[in-house]
Amino acid sequence: MKWTGRFEGYSMKSFQKDCISGVIVGIIAIPLGMAFAIASGVRPEYGIYTTIVAGILISMFGGSKFQIGGPTGAFIPILFSIVMQYGYENLLVAGIMAGIMLVLLGVFKLGILIKYIPKPVTIGFTTGIAVIIFVGQIANFLGLSNIEKHEDFLSNIKEIGMHLSTVNGYSLITSCLCLAMILITPRVLPKVPGSLVGLVVSSVVASLFFAGKVPTIGSTFGPIPSALPSFRVPDLSWEHLANLLAPAFVIALLGGIESLLSAVVADGMTGQRHNSNRELIGQGIANIVTPLFGGIPATGAIARTATNIKNGAVSPMSGMIHGLVVLVILMLFAPLASDIPLASMAPILMVVAWNMSERKEFAHLLKTRTGDSVVLLVTFLLTVLTTLTTAVEIGLLLTVVLFVKRMSDILRVSKVLPDPAARHGKVKPYMVTEGHDCPQISIFTVEGALFFGAATYFEHCIRQTVPLCPKILILRMAKVPFMDTTGASKLAGLVSEFQSRGGMVFISGIQEQPKEVITRTGLYEAIGHGQFFEHTGDAIDCALKHLEQNKCLGCRHYAFRECALLSEGVPAHLKNGGVLFGSGATKV
């Protein structure tokens, strides 16, 4: 991994700025790390271990100078579901597998693929995740007792409803105090993190006035160890790997999306550009190593990355310092963390959920009442009511279907004839009428992509509008930017049919990509090199020379300028002693 540019022009002054931002972000990251771990169904210290190990490695190997990595809210429903279904040990295995996938994505430079996930899908599942996180904290906010956690959303809602009578007034006061501090602090002290103030103030108040009456981290999970995380390799048997392939893929997909979105936000704030593939490699390395120390999957954290930049970060050193700060605090003050009330953690996660909900974008897309609105709503509902895996799969499938539908609707196939009144005799659809149409030459303008979703429509239009079986078919394909093998196959069928009855197919203005496809499939050779033209006028001139002139005698359609002569039995190519008459459409 090259470090070129990441520390270019680095100085002692830069290091001082990185230290300040690293310390501030490190302090903020501690309560968030514990809160995310608890919400994910694991012990709080695992969130701290993730913050330390992943935070250092993502900054060290990632593709963004300002990225802060660690546990994030977006992972909560996924990790909780994996813990409930497979257990904590298998969560570590899934994390390692996801890390390997991310590294491979980066190595093979596939990071750009993640950017192609449609906006309605990302907003849908992000908002769905936010709802799950918010609702998941209601029990701790109210201090409900005897709550059993379930994997599905509706069961958790039912569980909360059944235990509303067990509200703990002391927990409710603690939660409201913390929430008030979170909301007030940014207005009074803009540079002080509200979540930290809320956590400290509410924890102190609860400790002084509600001791023993409010569930704490220590009373629920036991004391937080002040030692370094131990190195341990989880069971990587083939059976575990096969069972966890799907969960690992979801972790990798979500981690890749979240990290690249965070890097893009950082680019917008700093005017610099990140390296997407390198960022994925850095995320992958972090997720391979972190589970070996008991940590949960991590990704780029948008809010902490923004805080890092706002506090003057200059280089990736700030992210490494943030991880070291968390390590030092863990070793010195871990016993104090055990006294933090769960009611103080709930408002922090609720605010995180509110901020990540994309509510304005969600409402805006919903108001458009388009196919994207359907994709958004379906992805959101499936995220909340089923699993993120199902939501993303169905969301992407719906997007593909809508894309094919839209591309199919864009394709236009129009029968045309030259307009003598137009400049250069350009061909126009309105010139084709019942009494003005050549029985031997049919000209069609094809506009749009000729692919599997539109190929049948293309074939149908041609067949439907040439019932007289003309001798020559001219296809104007200058406005066909793309053709796949299905489109080529339908075109080949038309060509074969025309040729079998002695007809000919001419093509004008074909672009490079469609030309390459028909060349590879052998269709170019089947049509014949001499039947491809740069301009439609040239194709018409050539077609006129291949007419069965006995059929032109007495014809009163007059589709072309030459028709008046042809109807009287004069050869199409002669006028005034052998001068080429032409169609007058040579530049069409």
**Residues 349, 431 within the same domain:** no
> What are the φ/ψ torsions at residue 416 (nearest 5 degrees)?
-135, 165
Band (pLDDT 50/70/90 cuts) for residue 193 is confident
pLDDT tens figures, 341-398: 999 999 999 999 999 888 999 999 999 999 999 999 999 999 999 888 889 889 999 9
CA angle 303, 306, 308 (to 5 degrees): 110
Q: Give dist(CA 395, CA 389) in Å, integer.
A: 10
Q: Is the pLDDT of residue 80 over 80?
A: yes
pTM, full prediction: 0.80
Which are the contacts of 551, defined by CB distance < 8 A and separation ≥ 6? Answer: 439, 440
Predicted confidence at residue 238, as pLDDT, reads 83
Q: What percent of the chain has pLDDT over 70?
A: 95
Predicted confidence at residue 166, as pLDDT, reads 95
Q: Is the pLDDT of residue 573 over 60?
A: no
**Residues 418, 350 within the same domain:** no
By DSSP bridging, strand 69-70 and strand 299-300 are antiparallel
From 7-21, 269-283, 426-440, 553-567, the region with the lowest mean pLDDT: 553-567
Average pLDDT value over all residues in the chain: 89
Q: Give dist(CA 126, CA 75) in Å, integer.
A: 10
Residue 477 lies in a domain: yes
Q: Which helix (H) or strand (E) holds 261?
A: helix 245-270
Distance in angstroms between the alpha carbons of the first and the last residue of the chain: 55
**Residues 324, 426 within the same domain:** no
E strand map for 38-133: 69-70
Predicted confidence at residue 584, as pLDDT, reads 45
Q: Which of 586, 587, 582, 584 is nearest to 572 (CA)?
A: 582
Number of domains within the chain:
2
Residue 293 lies in a domain: yes
Predicted confidence at residue 5, as pLDDT, reads 61
pLDDT tens figures, 442-469: 999 999 999 999 999 999 998 887 656 7
Q: Give SS3 for 167.
A: coil
pLDDT tens figures, 545-555: 888 888 888 88
Mean pLDDT for the stretch of residues 142-150: 91
pLDDT tens figures, 488-535: 999 999 999 889 988 999 999 999 999 999 999 999 999 999 999 999
Residue 44 lies in a domain: yes
What CATH code is carried by the domain that includes residue 484? 3.30.750.24
Q: Is the pLDDT of residue 576 over 50?
A: no
**Residues 341, 417 within the same domain:** no
Q: Which of 365, 449, 369, 446 is nearest to 404 (CA)?
A: 449
Counting Cβ atoms within 10 Å, is residue 504 exposed (0-12), middle (13-18) or buried (19+)? buried
| Buried/exposed code over 323-349 (b: 16+ C-beta within 10 A; e: otherwise) | bebbbebbeeebeebbbbbbbbbbbbb
Assess contact for 273 and 122: CB atoms under 8 A: no
Q: Which helix (H) or strand (E) holds 561?
A: none
* Domain limit, last residue, from 356, 371, 400: 356
| Secondary structure (DSSP) of 299-338 | EE-HHHHHHHHHTT--STHHHHHHHHHHHHHHHHHHHHHT
User: Quick one: CA dihedral 116, 119, 124, 127, positive or negative?
Assistant: positive
**Residues 445, 560 within the same domain:** yes
**Residues 85, 228 within the same domain:** yes
**Residues 416, 296 within the same domain:** no
Q: Give dist(CA 94, CA 324) in Å, integer.
A: 26
Predicted confidence at residue 53, as pLDDT, reads 96
Sequence-ordered alpha helix ranges (H) in 338-387: 342-355, 359-368, 371-385
277's tokens = 């593939």
Q: Which helix (H) or strand (E) holds 110?
A: none
Q: Give dist(CA 566, CA 19) in Å, integer.
A: 89
Q: Is the pLDDT of residue 577 over 50?
A: no
Residue 36 lies in a domain: yes
**Residues 245, 332 within the same domain:** yes
Q: Give SS3 for 576.
A: coil
Assess contact for 69 and 60: CB atoms under 8 A: no
**Residues 22, 143 within the same domain:** yes
Residue 584 lies in a domain: no
Domain that includes residue 20, residue range:
12-356
Assess contact for 553 and 439: CB atoms under 8 A: no
Residue 388 lies in a domain: no
Q: Which residue has the tokens 């589970």?
A: 291
User: Quick one: CA dihedral 188, 194, 197, 201, positive or negative?
Assistant: positive
Band (pLDDT 50/70/90 cuts) for residue 9 is confident
Mean pLDDT for the stretch of residues 458-483: 87
Q: Which helix (H) or strand (E) holds 535?
A: none
Predicted confidence at residue 356, as pLDDT, reads 87
**Residues 225, 145 within the same domain:** yes
Query: Around Cβ 90, how many Cβ atoms within 10 Å?
Result: 18
Assess contact for 438 and 470: CB atoms under 8 A: yes
Band (pLDDT 50/70/90 cuts) for residue 164 is very high
Predicted confidence at residue 387, as pLDDT, reads 85
**Residues 242, 331 within the same domain:** yes
* Domain limit, last residue, from 323, 340, 356: 356
Sequence-ordered alpha helix ranges (H) in 415-560: 455-464, 485-500, 512-520, 523-527, 536-544, 549-552
Q: Which of 121, 81, 97 is nearest to 261 (CA)?
A: 121
Q: Which residue has the tokens 């016993």?
A: 335
Assess contact for 508 and 475: CB atoms under 8 A: yes
**Residues 351, 496 within the same domain:** no
Residue 526 lies in a domain: yes
* Domain limit, last residue, from 311, 339, 356: 356
The single-letter code of the amino acid at 554 is: G
> Which of 90-99, 113-122, 557-566 has the highest mean predicted lDDT (pLDDT)?
90-99
Predicted confidence at residue 539, as pLDDT, reads 94
By DSSP bridging, strand 412-418 and strand 427-428 are antiparallel
State the virtual CA torsion across 304, 309, 314, 320 in degrees, nearest 10: -10
Residue 450 lies in a domain: yes
Higher pLDDT, 426 or 56: 56
197's tokens = 């103030």
Predicted confidence at residue 313, as pLDDT, reads 92
Query: Around Cβ 12, how many Cβ atoms within 10 Å?
Result: 7
